[in-house]
Amino acid sequence: MYKTCNNKRNLWQKGFLGLILAVTLLLGACMTPDDYGRGPADNDIGGMGSGAPDGPEAGTTAELEDGPESDHRVEMEPDSPSAFAADEDAVEEGTESIGFGELQRMFPETVVYRGPDNVKRVALTFDDGPDPRFTPDILDILEENDVNATFFVMGARAKGNPELLDRIDREGHVIGNHTYWHPNLDGETVGQLRWEIEETDNIINNIVGYRPALFRPPYGNFGSAHTESLASYEESAVFWTVDTRDWDGPPADEIINTVTEETGNGSIILMHDGSHWTVDMSNTVEALGPVIESLKDDGYEFVTIPELLQIRAKK
The pLDDT tens digits of the residues spanning 215-224 come to 999 999 999 9
Give the other-Cβ count within 10 Å of 22's Cβ.
10
244, 284 in Cβ contact below 8 A?
A: yes
d(CA 57, CA 218): 12
Residue 57: its pLDDT value, please?
Answer: 62
Q: What is the model's pLDDT at position 211?
A: 98
In this predicted model, what pLDDT tens digit does every residue of 5-43 receive, in sequence order? Answer: 444 445 444 454 454 445 444 444 443 433 333 333 344
Structure confidence at residue 40 (pLDDT): 36
* pLDDT < 50 positions in the chain: 1-9, 11-14, 16-17, 19-21, 23-43, 49-53
Degrees, nearest 5: CA angle 217-219-225: 45
What domains are there in the chain, each with its CATH number? 68-309 (3.20.20.370)
Instruction: Break the chain down into helix, strand, coil percent, rounded to 5.
Output: 45, 10, 45
Strand pairing report for 268-272 and 121-129: parallel
> What is the pTM (predicted TM-score) of this model?
0.81
Catalytic residues: 127, 272
Residue 199, pLDDT score: 96
CA–CA dist 101, 113 (Å, integer):
8
Asked if residues 140 and 168 have their Cβ atoms less than 8 Å apart, the reply is: no
User: What is the per-residue DSSP string for 138-187?
Assistant: HHHHHHHTT---EEEE-HHHHHH-HHHHHHHHHTT-EEEE--SS----TT
Question: If residue 94 lies in a helix (H) or strand (E), which one and from where to where?
Answer: none
Q: What is the pLDDT of residue 30?
A: 42
With the CA atoms of 15, 21, 22 and 24 taken in that order, what torsion angle do they form, in degrees rounded to the nearest 10? 150
pLDDT of residue 92: 86
Judged by DSSP in three states, 129 sits in strand
Give dist(CA 166, CA 173) in Å, integer: 10
